[in-house]
Amino acid sequence: MSTSAAGGHGYPQSPCFVGILSARDARIVHMFESLKSKAVGYGSRDILKAVDGLKRGRIAVANELLVWVAAWADAHPAESIMEAGPGLARAVRPGGEGTPAVNDLAMVELFAKLGKSTGSGMLFLGDVLDLRHRLPQLWAKVMGCELEEWQARRVARMTHHLSLEQVGEVDRAVAWFAGTQPPGKLFDAVEATILRIDGDRARAEYEERRRQVGVWKSQTDDNGLKGVFGRLEPLAAERLYARVQELADCLSEGTADERRAEAFGMLGDVAAITRLRARRRQPERFDEELAEAVAALTPDDEPDLMIEESEVHPALRDRPAAVDVESVIFEAAVERLVERLDPRLLVPTSTVVVHISAEDLSQGEGVCRVPELGPTLKSVVGEWLGHDRVVVRPVIDLNDAPPPVDDYEIPDRHRDHAMLRCPGSVFPWSTATRNLDLDHTDPYRPNGPPGQTRVEKLIPLSRTEHRAVTHGGWRRRKPDPTTMIFRSPHGHVFLTNRTGTHDLGAGSVARALWGAVSR
């Protein structure tokens, strides 16, 4: 009998085993052929109906698995251990404070059926026990298939270190909108609540993260390229990337990635950056003035050029090797030219938008929301701003909207007001917060009534979402300042507001609501 491995599992290739594999493969092929034929011949509405049903079924199956895992833990508690001793079963508590202990060896069989290692299985079980015993409101949403199990388990993992009382606060704070918000917004809300109730720990973790920053370079790869990698504070990373993009915008050749790579490499050449930025921001001082500065430093007739030490760039004065005359002349000329530049125009600027409630502003350690960076302690934001020249812009009173205008183009004041009122897209399930368009909920008419562009009728959308409502068959209505109702090309109605996205379907209730809502 041959003993070579089959499929990498070390099974002997006996005729019986080959027959089992062949039968299994035949069933798999038949299953996939059956799946492919399921969607043949259906129209768009039926496809959407099938997708909706399968999505709900997938959520129900995944959520039901948590029930059976919890049942297995109930069936094998720590009390089921009949004998103690070296190597025998032990009581372990995979969950946090307030969860029951279980028989660790009994869990191994469950993890094998789940297809998980012992380590990952214990983490999975800990999430389940945390949800059922520490986050009862989220657990109820999971049981009602209103929240996907992976999102609920992520919240359980984020709150595992909290006390029973603290995790209860998180449960009450986020359960009411869990399942109606995109996952990122749910996790941001959880993080903000944790910062608020456990600020001391969050501050300690922040200080620990500050010691984990660094910059590293890789070995040269087969293509002759070398990588540079850094781990920075979020704002420092955003500022660095913005500087690289600013320099890349000054370049004209190459793709966007190539220009950014060239700009990133220029960070090691201060003179090159100064020339590039000054030429971009103060072009009138270059070309002729630079030529004049070079000419002033170049002797007319001397073949052996002698340069006074005072005219040599400071970085070159102590160089032991022979000085490159042309480089010295150019560097000295640039130094003379830079002396006449306006330094205020060369200093990079950064804009940080910080959202903070009046309650958090008055507290010693409040929580801020910084777009793209997420919830952040107020003291951390203060440290970020402590290193720059800070100009505080007046707070815009969102209750004092600017007056309507007649133009299709949106003035900056109206744009700022609309974006501060709603800093993210209002499209169903959207997570877009950058490069947003402002859409007129009442389509602008060139010969329409005056005052068509008003803050109350502007909503933020991503470019693709904007195109969908303008040219893709989507329709939208805004019954009040905090609510949007969208209707898809095939009649499915979605309601979005501060609680998230609500899929109302395409039935009679959805049609009645759409018909009852004015623009």
Cα angle: 410, vertex 415, 421; to 5 degrees: 140
Q: What is the pLDDT of residues 453-480, one digit of tens each?
A: 888 889 999 999 999 999 999 999 988 8
Same domain, 254 and 286: yes
Token pair 């039968």 is found at: 23
Same domain, 193 and 277: no
Q: What is the pLDDT of residue 144?
A: 95
Distance CA(292)–CA(333), nearest Å, equals 9
Q: What is the pLDDT of residues 498-519, one digit of tens each?
A: 889 999 999 999 999 998 887 5
Distance CA(323)–CA(316), nearest Å, equals 8
Q: Does residue 143 register a pLDDT over 90?
A: yes
Q: What is the pLDDT of residue 272?
A: 76
- pTM for the predicted model, two decimal places: 0.69
Q: What is the pLDDT of residue 19?
A: 53
* Mean pLDDT value across the chain: 80
Q: What is the pLDDT of residues 246-261, one digit of tens each?
A: 888 888 888 988 888 8
Q: What is the pLDDT of residue 300?
A: 54
Q: Does residue 32 register a pLDDT over 70?
A: no
Q: What is the pLDDT of residue 5?
A: 41
Query: What residues make up the domain containing 61?
Result: 47-81+90-197
Q: What is the pLDDT of residue 2?
A: 42
Taking the CA atoms of 290, 291, 293 and 294 in sequence, report the sign of the dihedral they define: positive
Same domain, 338 and 357: no
Instruction: State which amino acid sits at residue 29.
Output: V
Q: What is the pLDDT of residue 17?
A: 46
- CA 168 vs. chain centroid, Å, equals 26
The two structure tokens encoding residue 19: 């027959």
For residue 352, what are the contacts with CB-CB under 8 A and spacing of at least 6? 235, 370, 381, 384, 385
For residue 315, what are the contacts with CB-CB under 8 A and spacing of at least 6? none
CA-closest candidate to residue 478, choices 427, 512, 405:
427
Query: Ranked by mean pLDDT, which of 23-27, 146-150, 469-473 comes out on top?
Result: 146-150
* 244-248, 281-285, 483-487: least confidently modelled range: 281-285
Same domain, 25 and 107: no
DSSP 8-state assignment for residue 355: B
Q: In the chain, what percentage of residues exceed pLDDT 70?
A: 75
Q: What is the pLDDT of residues 111-137, one digit of tens each?
A: 999 999 999 999 999 999 999 999 999
209 with 237: CB under 8 angstroms?
no
Same domain, 106 and 176: yes
Q: What is the pLDDT of residue 9?
A: 42
Q: What is the pLDDT of residue 202?
A: 75
Q: Beta partners for 231?
A: 214
Confidence band, pLDDT 50/70/90 cuts, at residue 138: very high
267 or 483: which leads in pLDDT: 483
Same domain, 470 and 380: no
Query: Ranked by mean pLDDT, which of 60-64, 219-223, 421-425 comes out on top?
Result: 60-64
Give the count of domains, the chain: 5
Q: Tell me whether residue 362 is in a domain.
A: yes
Q: Tell me whether residue 493 is in a domain.
A: yes
Q: What is the pLDDT of residue 411?
A: 85
Same domain, 418 and 377: no
* 72-76, 170-174, 507-511: least confidently modelled range: 507-511
Q: What is the pLDDT of residue 252?
A: 81
CA-closest candidate to residue 293, choices 334, 254, 252, 263:
334
Q: What is the mean pLDDT of residues 50-67?
A: 94
Q: Does residue 219 register a pLDDT over 60?
A: yes
Same domain, 19 and 64: no
Q: Does residue 161 register a pLDDT over 70?
A: yes
Query: Ranked by mean pLDDT, which of 200-204, 289-293, 300-304, 320-324 comes out on top?
Result: 200-204
As a residue count, the chain comes to: 519
Q: Tell me whether residue 68 is in a domain.
A: yes
393 or 146: which leads in pLDDT: 146
Q: What is the pLDDT of residue 395?
A: 66
Q: What is the mean pLDDT of residues 270-276?
A: 73
Q: What is the pLDDT of residue 317?
A: 53
Q: Does residue 1 register a pLDDT over 50?
A: no
Q: What is the pLDDT of residue 269?
A: 77
430 with 183: CB under 8 angstroms?
no
Distance CA(289)–CA(284), nearest Å, equals 8
Same domain, 66 and 182: yes
Q: Tell me whether residue 203 is in a domain.
A: no
Q: What is the pLDDT of residue 247?
A: 85
Q: Tell me whether residue 400 is in a domain.
A: no
Confidence band, pLDDT 50/70/90 cuts, at residue 373: confident
Q: What is the mean pLDDT of residues 339-357?
A: 65
Same domain, 246 and 285: yes
Q: How far is CA 349 from CA 8, 243, 278, 432, in A?
A: 59, 9, 14, 25
Cα angle: 200, vertex 201, 203; to 5 degrees: 65
Same domain, 169 and 72: yes
Confidence band, pLDDT 50/70/90 cuts, at residue 31: low
Instruction: State which amino acid sits at residue 410.
Output: I
Q: Tell me whether residue 206 is in a domain.
A: no
Q: What is the pLDDT of residue 366?
A: 78
Same domain, 370 and 286: no
Q: Tell me whether residue 399 is in a domain.
A: no
